[in-house]
Structure 1
Amino acid sequence: MLAGAGLVGVTAPTAAALGTAEPRGVVTVTSTSDAAAPGTADRGPGKGVDTKALNAALSGIVDSGGVSAALARVGDHGRTLWKGGSGVADRTTGAPASADGRFRIGSVTKTFVSTVTLQLVAEGRLGLDDPVERLLPGAVPNGANITLRQLLGHTSGVFNYTEDQAFDIARPGAIEQWLESGRYTRWTPQQLVALANAHPAYFAPGQGFHYSNTNYVLVGQIIERATGRSWQQEVERRVIRPLGLTGTFMPDHATGVPGPHAHGYFDLPTGPADVTELDPSMAGASGAGISTTADLNTFVTALIGGRLLPRPQLAEMMAVTPQSEGRYGLGLERATTDCGVLWGHTGGIPGYSTFLYTSGDLRRQLAVSMNGNGLSTPPATRAAFEKLLGAGTCTG
C-alpha cells in the first residue's frame, strides 16, 4: 500500500533507503470545529477515534527515520474528527510541519482525472469502450484495439514511461544529475508518450494489468481533445471549484508548492537535498496535483458519496478488474484491511508519498502525506504507517 518515491510511483519501492532523518519536530493534534457529521450529533465528533493511538502512530512515522514530516487527517462523512502534523516543514529552520499544509499528491491525481473522464462519459462525449485510435488518432501503436476503459484501468498493456531510462534515478549519479537539471525539464505529453512508444507493450490489450503512467497522460490528451480545454482546466471547473477545494491545484509547469507546505528531501551522502521544486509536467495528468488532507477527504467523500458521478459511472469506476486481482477499478484502488474494504488511491513523486482512503459507508476517511527521505520506505516507517492506517480507519 505504500507508494514508491520514484519520479511518479504508486508501487512498492525497490531501491534501498538512501539515509535517515535527524529532525523530529512535534505532533500537533487539534480538535475539529466542524459541525457534526450526518448521523453523528448524538455521539460527539471524537467518538470512535483513538486520538492517543493516532498521535503515537503519526509521531512514530517520523521517529522511524524514514520521513522528515507526516500529515494526517481522519474524517467521518468528510467532516474532520482529528488532524495532526509531525516532523519539520523545513530542515534548515526546524519549523514544525502544519497539519493544514499543502503537498504534492502524485498519482492521487489519477482519481481526479478519471472522475472528469467519467463525467464526460455520462454526458455522452466519450465512451468507455471507444478505441484510443478514434479518440486520439496516431497516439500509440495498436490504438485501434486499446479502449479508454483499458487506459483508466491499466489493462491497456501500454509501456509505463517512468520505467524508461530517462526517468531512472536509482542508477549511480542519476539523482545528482536530476537535481542539477532534470527536475526542471519541461515535458510535453507527446514526449512522454513517445518514450513509452519506444518500448514494446507489456501484453495484448485487456490481457493483463500493469500500472502505467502513460495511460493517464493519454487520458489527459483525450480530455483536451474532447472538450477543447486542458485536463487541468476541466478538473478545476468540474471538481475543484464545485467542491470548494481551496488548497488543491493542478499545475502545468509551475515548479513550487504554493502556500504553507513541508519540504521534500532526498538524503544523499553529501547531506539532505531539497527536492520540493520540480516541473510537474514530468507527471502531467498521471501525477502533477497538489492538495491538502482536508481537500482530499472532501473529494473522496463526494466521489464515493455520489456527488460527482451518476450512479452508473460510479459503479464503473468501482468495478475492480480481474486482471488487477480485484484491486483496481477505473482510477480507483480497492484495499482490503483488517477493518474492512477501503477505496481511494496512493501516489508518489520526489519528496512526497500520499495515501487517500474512505470506507464505502463514508464513516471513515483517512488522508496522509509523508515526506520521504529517499527512493524507498524503510520497514520501521512502513510499520508505523500501518498503525496509523488501523487507528484512522477502524470505526468505533
Structure 2
Amino acid sequence: MSDVTTPPRALRRGLRSAAALLAAATLLGAGAAPSFAAPPGRLPVDAQPAGEQGMLATGGAEATALRTTLQGIVDTGSSAAVGEVRQDGRTVWRGRAGVADLATGTPVPEHARFRIGSVTKTFVATVLLQLSAERRIGLDDPIDRHLPGAVANGSAITVRQLLDHTSGLYNYTDAPGLDPQNESQYLDWLAGPRWQTYQPADLLALANRNAPYFPPGQGWHYSNTNYLLAGLLVEKVTGHPWQQEVDRRIIQPLGLRDTGMPGRSVRLPGPHAHGYVKLSTGPVDVTELNPSVMGAAGQGISGTADLNRFIAALLDGRLLRPAELAEMTRTTDAGPGRGYGLGLARFDTPCGVFWGHSGDLPGYSTMVAGTADGRRQLVLSHNPYDRSDPRAAKSAVTAFLTTAACGANPGH
C-alpha cells in the first residue's frame, strides 16, 4: 500500500496498485530525500554480498549508494525495507533496513518473505501466454468462448484486453466495502472483510454491478477484475486451479522456494517483516489477511531472490518463446511516458528500459524489474507505515530504484 497516513484511501490503493505501478514507471533520478523521524527501534542498514563471494561486484560506491537510499525509504516512513540487485546471473548486492516488528524492534530477517500484490499478475500472464503457445487458448479469443456469461460484454472482450487492461471492466476493488472512505469504515474492514473468504463469483458480481469505464479496446484502465478473469481462464483451459498451474509451470521449474499462492490462508509463513497501517489510535498490524479477495490479481508471496530469478528467467526466454515474449512486451499507452504490456510494464530509466511490475497490499509494497537482455534485475519490498510527507517517501523509493537500476551515477 502506497500511502497509509490517509486510511480512507489506503485499502483502495493497496488492492489496486495502479498508482504505485505508474508512479514507478519512469524511475527518473531523484535528489536526496529529506530525513524524517524513523519508526521506533529503527536499525541501520545491513547489506551483504551474495553467497561467499566476499566482495560486491558492483563496487564500493554503488554499494554505499544502495545502502543510503534503502535507509532513506525507512527514514521517510517505512518500518522495513529489503532490496536485492543481480547482474549477469549472480546477486551482487542485498540489503535490509528497519525492523521486522515495531513493538519488539526485531531486525528484518535476511531472507524475508513478503506479500507481492499485483506482481502476481506477471506470473498469471506468463501462464496464459504459455497456454497460448500450446494453442489451448488464443490471445484474441473473446472471453465468452471460455467463460460464457462471466461478464455482460464478454463477447466483445478478448483475452489480450484482460491482460493489458484495455477491457474497460470496472475494478471490483473500488467497490463499496472494499474501498473504505473514512477511518470508521476502515476499522470495519479490519474487523470483517479482512478475514472473509471471497469466491471469484462474489468479486465478479461487484464488478458487474458497475458500468464499464469504456468500450473494450477504447482506453486503458488498471482493473483487478481483468486478472480475476485471467485466473478463471487458466482454470477453465487446464482443469486445474490457477495456483497449481503457476506452481507447476513457474515456481517448481525455477526452484522458487520462498514463492507461493496462498489461496485463503491468512498467514505469511516463514521469516518476514510485519506490515502495518497507521490509524489515529496508532499502528495496526495487518500482516495477516485473507488473500482470497485478490485472487489471481494479487495474492502471491515471495522473496527478493525468487523474484529476481523469476524476472530473469522470463526476460531471457526460459519461460516463454520469443513470439510470446514479444506479445508480452508490446505495450499499450497507459499515460505520458508509460507503457503496459501483457502483465508486464515498461520502465524508462536513465540507463535504459527495464521491464517488470509493482504490487501493493496493506502494509507491503513491492517492485521487480529487469533488463530485456536478462543481464540486470532488481527487487525492492518495503513496509509503508508513517508517511507524513508522501512526496519525500516517493522520492526515497525512486532514488533506490534508480540506483539499483543504474548504479551510483545514473546520469553517466
Letter in 1 for 2:17: V
- Work out whether residues 49 and 56 of structure 2, in 8 Å CA contact, stay in contact via their aligned partners in 1: no
CA distance in 2, matches of 1:262, 1:31: 21
Match of 2:16 among 4, 9, 24: 9
1:259 partnered with 2:277: no
Task: Give the equivalent residue in structure 1 for 2:204.
Answer: 193
Correspondence for 1:80: 91
Q: Distance in 2 between matches of 1:34 and 1:9?
A: 40
Contact 1:34/1:79 (8 A) holds in 2? no
Counterparts of 2:339 and 2:220, CA distance in 1: 10
**Conservation of the 8 A alpha-carbon contact between 1:73 and 1:84:** yes
Corresponding position: 1:30 with 2:48? yes
Q: Which of residues 280, 291, 297 is equivalent to 1:280?
A: 291
* Alpha-carbon distance between aligned partners in 2 of 1:34 and 1:220, rounded to the nearest angstrom: 40
Retained in 1: the 8 A contact 2:346–2:353? Answer: yes
Contact kept in structure 1, 2:346 and 2:355, CA below 8 Å: yes
DSSP 3-state at the match of 2:340: coil
Instruction: Give the equivalent residue in structure 2 for 1:155.
Output: 166
SS, match of residue 86 in structure 1 = strand
Shift of 1:195: 0.2
Cα distance in 2 between the residues matched to 1:182 and 1:376: 27
Identity of aligned pairs, percent? Answer: 50
Q: Name the SS of the counterpart of 1:103 in structure 2.
A: strand
- Aligned partner of 1:372 in structure 2 is 384
1:167 paired residue number? 178
Residue in 1 that maps onto 2:7: none
Amino acid corresponding to residue 50 of structure 2 in structure 1? T
Q: In 2, Cα distance between the equivalents of 1:134 and 1:114?
A: 18
Aligned equivalent of 2:361, options 349, 353, 362: 349
8 Å contact kept, 1:132–1:147: yes
Listed as ranges, the matches of 1:1-396 within 5 Å are: 6-12=13-19, 21-33=39-51, 45-47=57-59, 50-64=62-76, 66-322=77-333, 327-373=339-385, 378-395=390-407
Q: Distance in 1 between matches of 2:381 and 2:145?
A: 38
CA RMSD of aligned residues (A): 2.3
- CA shift, 1:98, in A, is 2.2
Distance 1:167 1:34 in 2: 46
Provide the TM-score with structure 2 as the length reference: 0.88
Change (3 A) 1:374 1:146: farther
Using the alignment, how far apart are the partners of 2:86 and 2:61 within structure 1? Answer: 10
- DSSP-derived class of the 1:186 partner: coil
Tell me the distance in 1 between the aligned counterparts of 2:18 and 2:38.
Answer: 21
- Secondary structure of the 2:226 match is helix
User: How big is the shift at 1:322?
Assistant: 3.6
**Equivalent-residue separation in structure 1 for 2:322 and 2:315 (angstroms):** 10
Whether contact under 8 Å (2:312, 2:375) holds in the other structure is no
Amino acid at match of 2:43: G
Structure 1 stretches of 5 or more lacking a match? 14-18, 37-42
Seen in structure 2, the aligned counterparts of structure 1 residues 336 and 376 have a Cα distance that, compared at 3 Å, is farther
Q: Which residue of 1 aligns with 2:23?
A: none
For residue 311 of structure 2, give the secondary structure of its aligned residue in structure 1.
helix
Contact 1:207-1:323 within 8 A present in 2 as well: no
Describe the shift of the 1:34–1:291 C-alpha distance in structure 2 as closer, same or farther (beyond 3 A).
farther
Conservation of the 8 A alpha-carbon contact between 1:170 and 1:375: no
SS in structure 2 opposite 1:75? Answer: strand
> Given the superposition, is the C-alpha separation of residues 350 and 376 from structure 1 closer, same or farther in structure 2, using an over 3 Å criterion?
farther
How far apart in 1 are the matches of 2:279 and 2:98? 19
Q: List alignment gaps of at least 5 residues for structure 2.
A: 4-9, 21-36
SS of residue paired to 1:50 = helix
Asked whether the 8 Å contact 1:301–1:358 carries over to 2, the reply is yes
Post-superposition offset of 1:341: 1.1
Alpha-carbon separation, structure 2, partners of 1:284 and 1:363: 31
Query: 1:23: Cα distance to partner?
Result: 3.6
